[in-house]
Amino acid sequence: MNCDVKTVIAPVNIAVIKYWGKRDEELILPLNDSVSATLDTSVMCAKTSVCANPHFAEDEIWLNGKKESFSNQRLQNCLKEIKQRAYNEKSIDDIFLTWKVHICSENNFPTAAGLASSAAGYACLVTALAKLYKVKSDISSIARLGSGSACRSVYGGFVRWHAGVNPDGSDSIATQIADSSHWPQMRALILVVGDTKKKISSTIGMKRSADTSELLKYRVQYCVPKRTDDISKAIKEKNFGKFAEITMKDSNQFHAVCMDSYPPYVYLTNISHTIIDLVHKYNEISGETRIAYTFDAGPNACLYLLENEVPKVMSLIQHIFPSSSDKFVTGLNFKEEGLNEE
């Protein structure tokens, strides 16, 4: 290792079976399995550069051009764990592990607005650090220490994060259900409804729901296991109707859990609900399910649909929301690999 800068680009992933609730706050171990699709980096991605140098006095980080504190525990955990792996794997000389690092990261989309910015950000950071320290083993469990959903952005295509059962989190890792070439017609359309920072962070929301929501307990025990198996099957069989139905039901249940928490909290806005109604109307008129919506911890919609449906849906959306058409972004195509070195 020398003072080389390592730069990595990482994609956003949008869950179709949502992760919501932790069984271990520090190790970021989820209550349930989750499933997501990894989007193309050409539209939404994080970009991170890392560099270690014997002359750096401190570890330092810049996010979207602004210097931030390095005291963030999750950030420190990721760096510590990568260095530990490098030490175990003997991938570099020990002396390099004592050098301080500088990290520079940016997103090309709104941060913390429910657009999976932390997933791309931590997947990117951990991959860049793994390249710097020449770590070769699976890093999804380290990305998980930054932000749970980040472990899914380490892989492309359709990805499942296994909740695992081990108390140390060693089996809480992401695996690929199918790579991007499996269902090349699949598209994601991101509708940016609002780009302000969410009021309730996912960490606070998950804790409140785990502490107070009866529905979350029911969801984890009775709904998610079957949905996860069924959607994996629908993906493998390229059954869009089934895939879409499960995706929408799971998004709705996640937002119902937010309302079932005490005090309740809400991420969806009137525009989000207009989009939900529009999708159901569109499917009803089509006589089959051709679009699915899903919403993370924010008002922005991700629509999953097949390629031949995109022009019609794009013009419909622009017709209904003419003034905000410049805010709509298409996240098309799935990547072969989750992460790219620039």
Q: Are 32 and 165 in contact (CB under 8 A)?
A: no
Report how far residue 213's alpha carbon sits from residue 295's, in angstroms, rounded to the nearest whole number.
19
Q: Which is nearer to ligand PMV, 12 or 51 (CB)?
A: 12
Q: Does 157 bind ligand PMV (CB under 6 A)?
A: no
Q: How far is the CB of 284 from ligand PMV (least distance, A)?
A: 27
* Interacting residues with ligand PMV between 218 and 247 (CB under 6 A): none
* Interacting residues with ligand PMV between 272 and 291 (CB under 6 A): none
Q: Does 173 bind ligand PMV (CB under 6 A)?
A: no
Write the interaction track for ligand PMV spanning residues 174-203; mark x where CB under 6 A is met and - where it is not: ----------------------------x-
Closest CA to 11 of 240, 232, 336: 336
Two tokens, residue 216? 């979350």
CA atoms within 13 A on the CB side of 105: 26
Q: Bin 101: left if φ > 0, else alpha if -120 < ψ < 50, else beta.
A: beta
Q: How far is the CB of 322 from ligand PMV (least distance, A)?
A: 29
Report how far residue 301's alpha carbon sits from residue 169's, in angstroms, rounded to the nearest whole number.
31
Write the interaction track for ligand PMV spanning residues 13-32; mark x where CB under 6 A is met and - where it is not: --x--xxx------------
13 φ, ψ (degrees, to nearest 5) = -120, 145
Q: Which is nearer to ligand PMV, 151 or 186 (CB)?
A: 151
* Stretch in the footprint of ligand PMV (CB under 6 A) among 115-123, 219-227, 256-264, 314-322: 115-123
* Stretch in the footprint of ligand PMV (CB under 6 A) among 12-20, 62-70, 90-98, 285-293: 12-20
Q: Does 83 bind ligand PMV (CB under 6 A)?
A: no
Q: How far is the CB of 116 from ligand PMV (least distance, A)?
A: 6
Q: How far is the CB of 40 from ligand PMV (least distance, A)?
A: 18
Q: How far is the CB of 16 from ligand PMV (least distance, A)?
A: 9
225 φ, ψ (degrees, to nearest 5) = -55, -45
Q: How far is the CB of 146 from ligand PMV (least distance, A)?
A: 9
If binding means CB under 6 A, how many residues of this protein chain bind ligand PMV? 14
Q: How far is the CB of 134 from ligand PMV (least distance, A)?
A: 27
Distances (CA, A) of 98 to 54, 125, 201: 8, 19, 33
Q: How wide is the angle at C-alpha 153 spanned by C-alphas 113 and 18, nearest 5°?
A: 60
Report how far residue 272's alpha carbon sits from residue 267's, in angstroms, rounded to the nearest whole number.
9
322 φ, ψ (degrees, to nearest 5) = -60, -40
Report how far residue 6's alpha carbon sits from residue 236's, in angstroms, rounded to the nearest whole number.
35
Q: Does 253 bind ligand PMV (CB under 6 A)?
A: no
Q: Are 17 and 149 in contact (CB under 8 A)?
A: no
> By the criterion CB under 6 A, which residues form the site for ligand PMV?
15, 18-20, 34, 116, 118-119, 147-149, 202, 296-297
